[in-house]
Structure 1
Amino acid sequence: YDTRKGTIPNDHGRILNPTTGNPIPGAYVVGWAKRGPTGVIGTNKKDAEETVALLLEDIPHIRRAGVDAKVEQKLEELLEGAGCKYVSFDEWQSFNALEIERGKSQNRPRVKFIDIEEMRSAAGG
């Protein structure tokens, strides 16, 4: 931990080993812990997208390195097994596009859904 910056040493979200300076397989950071206490929600979202993109890029290498080798289930299977309701990234992209479209008539960037049933109905599900 870098007490001066208030961050965890990282390379675009990949946490770095303090001794070697190399990324630690399977270890990531986002938000203020990644870049320091600055920014707003939009900054955090873009920041998280960058880190998640790297995580997805790293998955084949992480598996080869033996990190989480015991966990072979897909994320969806884990969530369903725990009884969690979730929105996939593809579904989120649809909802995002619908919210942006809803905002156009009001000259706003978007109009958020506030009811889950309305959201799913608008998306055709």
Structure 2
Amino acid sequence: MDLEQEAPNVVTESGFRALVESGHRVEVICKEDAYKKGPNWHGVWIMRTVSDAGVEKLLVTARTRTSRNDIKIREIRTVTGVISFLQGVGFSHADIPLEEGKRTVHKLSSEELAAGRT
């Protein structure tokens, strides 16, 4: 069965990329306060897309099922990981919330969209 039919509010990375390229916004949501450990920042961030109509889809791991058959939301645990993910989707910038409950919104610019298609 197709994951999106079974769980319509989640999307894998390839579907996430397609939604962002079609104009959906990306929300970076901080789930735990970030903290600095050595030269690196750590925390827990999740990503979701939001359409202009308000339809939200959470990013899930490629292996979306745990041993209990639950869907696993993808958590990114470093600022570098968030930046790498956003850059991989096509963004040339990253605005990352550092406090639990905060979120930032990104949308690909026309220049970023054009760069991704070349």
Q: TM-score range by the shorter chain?
A: under 0.3
Structure 1 or 2: larger strand share? 2
**TM-score between the two structures when normalised by the length of structure 1:** 0.26
**TM-score between the two structures when normalised by the length of structure 2:** 0.27
Tell which structure's C-alpha radius of gyration is larger: 1
Could you say which structure has the greater relative contact order, defined with CA pairs below 8 angstroms and 6 or more residues apart?
2
